[in-house]
Protein backbone atom coordinates (compact mmCIF):
# COMPACT_ATOMS: atom_id res chain seq x y z
CA UNK A 1 0.00 0.00 0.00
CA UNK A 2 1.30 3.46 -0.92
CA UNK A 3 1.76 6.10 1.77
CA UNK A 4 -0.59 9.05 1.17
CA UNK A 5 0.74 12.33 2.58
CA UNK A 6 -1.99 14.63 1.23
CA UNK A 7 -5.37 14.08 -0.41
CA UNK A 8 -6.53 17.48 -1.70
CA UNK A 9 -9.39 18.36 -4.07
CA UNK A 10 -6.99 18.73 -7.03
CA UNK A 11 -4.14 16.36 -6.22
CA UNK A 12 -2.79 13.47 -4.20
CA UNK A 13 0.74 13.47 -2.77
CA UNK A 14 2.44 10.20 -1.92
CA UNK A 15 5.75 9.04 -0.51
CA UNK A 16 6.88 6.65 -3.25
CA UNK A 17 9.01 3.79 -1.93
CA UNK A 18 12.39 3.03 -3.44
CA UNK A 19 12.14 0.15 -5.91
CA UNK A 20 8.55 0.91 -6.92
CA UNK A 21 8.26 1.45 -10.68
CA UNK A 22 6.09 4.25 -11.98
CA UNK A 23 4.86 2.06 -14.85
CA UNK A 24 3.60 -1.52 -14.82
CA UNK A 25 6.37 -4.06 -15.29
CA UNK A 26 4.98 -7.48 -16.13
CA UNK A 27 2.78 -8.53 -13.23
CA UNK A 28 4.02 -5.73 -11.00
CA UNK A 29 1.61 -2.79 -11.01
CA UNK A 30 2.78 0.80 -11.43
CA UNK A 31 2.13 3.78 -9.18
CA UNK A 32 -1.02 5.09 -10.89
CA UNK A 33 -2.64 1.67 -11.04
CA UNK A 34 -1.95 1.07 -7.35
CA UNK A 35 -3.17 4.52 -6.41
CA UNK A 36 -6.45 4.18 -8.34
CA UNK A 37 -7.17 0.91 -6.57
CA UNK A 38 -6.21 2.28 -3.18
CA UNK A 39 -8.16 5.57 -3.35
CA UNK A 40 -11.04 4.71 -5.66
CA UNK A 41 -10.26 7.83 -7.72
CA UNK A 42 -10.41 6.77 -11.36
CA UNK A 43 -9.18 9.88 -13.14
CA UNK A 44 -5.62 10.32 -11.93
CA UNK A 45 -2.96 11.91 -14.11
CA UNK A 46 0.83 11.85 -13.83
CA UNK A 47 2.32 15.36 -13.75
CA UNK A 48 5.92 14.27 -13.06
CA UNK A 49 7.73 11.01 -12.41
CA UNK A 50 10.35 9.46 -10.17
CA UNK A 51 12.82 6.78 -11.26
CA UNK A 52 12.34 3.32 -9.84
CA UNK A 53 15.30 3.67 -7.48
CA UNK A 54 14.16 7.11 -6.22
CA UNK A 55 11.92 7.45 -3.20
CA UNK A 56 9.94 10.41 -1.96
CA UNK A 57 7.36 13.03 -2.84
CA UNK A 58 5.29 12.37 -5.95
CA UNK A 59 2.35 14.53 -7.09
CA UNK A 60 -0.61 13.06 -8.95
CA UNK A 61 -3.37 15.28 -10.35
CA UNK A 62 -7.08 14.58 -9.96
CA UNK A 63 -8.72 15.16 -13.34
CA UNK A 64 -7.58 16.63 -16.64
CA UNK A 65 -8.09 20.27 -15.59
CA UNK A 66 -5.82 19.92 -12.54
CA UNK A 67 -3.26 18.06 -14.67
CA UNK A 68 -3.22 20.96 -17.15
CA UNK A 69 -2.69 23.45 -14.29
CA UNK A 70 0.23 21.46 -12.94
CA UNK A 71 1.64 21.17 -16.45
CA UNK A 72 1.69 24.96 -16.69
CA UNK A 73 3.34 25.29 -13.27
CA UNK A 74 6.07 22.83 -14.19
CA UNK A 75 6.62 24.50 -17.57
CA UNK A 76 6.99 27.89 -15.85
CA UNK A 77 9.27 26.45 -13.12
CA UNK A 78 6.75 27.39 -10.47
CA UNK A 79 6.98 24.04 -8.71
CA UNK A 80 10.15 23.92 -6.65
CA UNK A 81 11.53 20.43 -6.03
CA UNK A 82 14.41 19.51 -3.74
CA UNK A 83 16.16 16.16 -3.51
CA UNK A 84 18.60 14.59 -1.06
CA UNK A 85 21.33 12.24 -2.26
CA UNK A 86 24.33 10.43 -0.79
CA UNK A 87 27.60 9.55 -2.49
CA UNK A 88 30.85 8.06 -1.27
CA UNK A 89 32.96 10.10 -3.69
CA UNK A 90 33.97 13.75 -3.48
CA UNK A 91 32.67 16.05 -6.25
CA UNK A 92 34.72 18.32 -8.45
CA UNK A 93 33.09 21.33 -6.75
CA UNK A 94 30.96 21.83 -3.64
CA UNK A 95 28.14 23.96 -5.03
CA UNK A 96 26.90 25.44 -8.26
CA UNK A 97 24.83 24.74 -11.34
CA UNK A 98 25.31 22.06 -13.97
CA UNK A 99 23.86 22.79 -17.41
CA UNK A 100 24.09 20.75 -20.60
CA UNK A 101 22.19 18.77 -23.16
CA UNK A 102 21.55 15.11 -22.38
CA UNK A 103 22.17 12.30 -24.83
CA UNK A 104 20.86 8.75 -24.51
CA UNK A 105 23.28 5.88 -25.08
CA UNK A 106 22.64 2.41 -26.47
CA UNK A 107 22.36 0.80 -23.05
CA UNK A 108 19.57 3.14 -21.90
CA UNK A 109 21.86 5.37 -19.85
CA UNK A 110 22.18 9.11 -20.42
CA UNK A 111 25.18 11.41 -20.43
CA UNK A 112 25.65 15.14 -19.99
CA UNK A 113 27.06 17.03 -22.96
CA UNK A 114 28.93 20.33 -23.18
CA UNK A 115 26.37 21.73 -25.63
CA UNK A 116 23.41 23.78 -24.38
CA UNK A 117 20.80 23.80 -27.14
CA UNK A 118 18.09 22.47 -24.80
CA UNK A 119 19.95 21.93 -21.56
CA UNK A 120 19.10 20.08 -18.38
CA UNK A 121 19.80 22.48 -15.50
CA UNK A 122 20.60 21.28 -11.98
CA UNK A 123 21.57 23.30 -8.91
CA UNK A 124 23.33 21.63 -5.97
CA UNK A 125 25.06 22.03 -2.63
CA UNK A 126 27.12 19.34 -0.91
CA UNK A 127 28.83 18.74 2.41
CA UNK A 128 30.81 15.93 3.99
CA UNK A 129 28.90 13.92 6.58
CA UNK A 130 31.62 11.53 7.76
CA UNK A 131 32.51 7.94 6.95
CA UNK A 132 33.76 9.09 3.54
CA UNK A 133 30.26 10.11 2.45
CA UNK A 134 28.90 13.35 1.00
CA UNK A 135 25.33 14.56 1.25
CA UNK A 136 23.81 16.56 -1.60
CA UNK A 137 20.76 18.74 -1.73
CA UNK A 138 19.75 19.14 -5.36
CA UNK A 139 17.23 21.36 -7.13
CA UNK A 140 16.49 20.39 -10.74
CA UNK A 141 15.23 23.35 -12.76
CA UNK A 142 14.26 21.06 -15.63
CA UNK A 143 12.71 17.61 -15.58
CA UNK A 144 14.74 15.23 -17.76
CA UNK A 145 14.99 11.47 -17.44
CA UNK A 146 17.76 10.51 -14.97
CA UNK A 147 18.74 14.18 -14.73
CA UNK A 148 20.03 14.21 -11.14
CA UNK A 149 21.72 10.83 -11.48
CA UNK A 150 23.56 12.01 -14.59
CA UNK A 151 24.46 15.37 -13.02
CA UNK A 152 26.06 13.80 -9.95
CA UNK A 153 27.96 11.33 -12.10
CA UNK A 154 29.26 14.29 -14.15
CA UNK A 155 30.46 15.86 -10.89
CA UNK A 156 32.42 12.72 -10.07
CA UNK A 157 30.00 11.73 -7.28
CA UNK A 158 27.65 9.02 -8.57
CA UNK A 159 24.80 8.30 -6.21
CA UNK A 160 25.41 5.55 -3.68
CA UNK A 161 23.64 2.40 -4.90
CA UNK A 162 23.11 3.69 -8.45
CA UNK A 163 24.82 0.89 -10.38
CA UNK A 164 23.73 2.21 -13.79
CA UNK A 165 25.79 5.39 -13.31
CA UNK A 166 28.75 3.90 -11.48
CA UNK A 167 27.63 4.27 -7.88
CA UNK A 168 29.04 2.00 -5.19
CA UNK A 169 26.99 -1.00 -4.14
CA UNK A 170 24.38 -0.34 -1.45
CA UNK A 171 21.04 -1.63 -0.20
CA UNK A 172 19.19 0.97 -2.34
CA UNK A 173 19.80 3.97 -4.56
CA UNK A 174 20.30 6.95 -2.26
CA UNK A 175 18.22 9.57 -4.04
CA UNK A 176 15.10 10.94 -2.33
CA UNK A 177 12.57 13.58 -3.43
CA UNK A 178 12.57 15.50 -0.16
CA UNK A 179 10.58 18.74 -0.50
CA UNK A 180 8.03 20.48 -2.73
CA UNK A 181 6.72 24.04 -2.79
CA UNK A 182 4.07 25.48 -5.11
CA UNK A 183 0.91 27.58 -5.32
CA UNK A 184 -2.31 26.29 -6.84
CA UNK A 185 -5.13 28.80 -7.14
CA UNK A 186 -5.07 30.91 -3.97
CA UNK A 187 -3.40 28.25 -1.82
CA UNK A 188 0.31 27.88 -1.17
CA UNK A 189 1.60 24.38 -0.39
CA UNK A 190 4.84 23.25 1.23
CA UNK A 191 5.75 19.66 1.93
CA UNK A 192 8.86 17.92 3.22
CA UNK A 193 9.27 14.20 3.81
CA UNK A 194 12.50 12.57 5.03
CA UNK A 195 13.35 9.13 3.63
CA UNK A 196 12.26 6.12 5.63
CA UNK A 197 14.10 3.29 3.85
CA UNK A 198 17.84 2.71 3.65
CA UNK A 199 20.52 1.90 6.19
CA UNK A 200 22.68 4.89 5.21
CA UNK A 201 19.85 7.37 5.70
CA UNK A 202 19.66 6.20 9.31
CA UNK A 203 23.40 6.24 9.92
CA UNK A 204 25.01 9.16 11.80
CA UNK A 205 26.05 10.63 8.44
CA UNK A 206 22.54 10.39 7.05
CA UNK A 207 21.09 12.04 10.13
CA UNK A 208 23.72 14.78 9.89
CA UNK A 209 22.60 15.37 6.29
CA UNK A 210 19.09 16.11 7.52
CA UNK A 211 20.48 18.46 10.14
CA UNK A 212 22.39 20.44 7.52
CA UNK A 213 19.74 20.30 4.82
CA UNK A 214 16.60 20.67 6.91
CA UNK A 215 13.30 21.92 5.54
CA UNK A 216 13.57 25.68 6.35
CA UNK A 217 17.05 25.89 4.77
CA UNK A 218 15.99 23.86 1.77
CA UNK A 219 12.90 25.90 1.05
CA UNK A 220 14.79 29.17 1.46
CA UNK A 221 16.67 28.48 -1.79
CA UNK A 222 16.40 31.52 -4.12
CA UNK A 223 13.19 31.24 -6.13
CA UNK A 224 14.57 31.55 -9.66
Note if 51 is an active site residue.
yes
Catalytic residue among 7, 15, 51, 171: 51
Name, in order, each residue with C-beta under 8 angstroms of 22's C-beta and a sequence gap of 6 or more.
30, 31, 32, 46, 49, 50, 51, 52
Instruction: Using alpha carbons, select from 136, 141, 139, 177 the residue that is nearest to residue 153.
Output: 136
Alpha-carbon distances, residue 190 vs 141, 187, 193, 219 (angstroms): 17, 10, 10, 8
Q: Which residues contact 192 (CB under 8 A, 6 or more apart)?
A: 178, 179, 180, 215, 218, 219
Write out the catalytic residue numbers: 51
Amino acid sequence: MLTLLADEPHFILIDKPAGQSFHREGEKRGVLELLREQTGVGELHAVHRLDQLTSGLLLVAKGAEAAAEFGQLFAQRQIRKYYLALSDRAPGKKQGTLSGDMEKGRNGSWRLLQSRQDPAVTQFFTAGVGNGQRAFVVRPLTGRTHQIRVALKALGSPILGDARYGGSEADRGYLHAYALEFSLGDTHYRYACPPREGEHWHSPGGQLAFGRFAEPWCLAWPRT
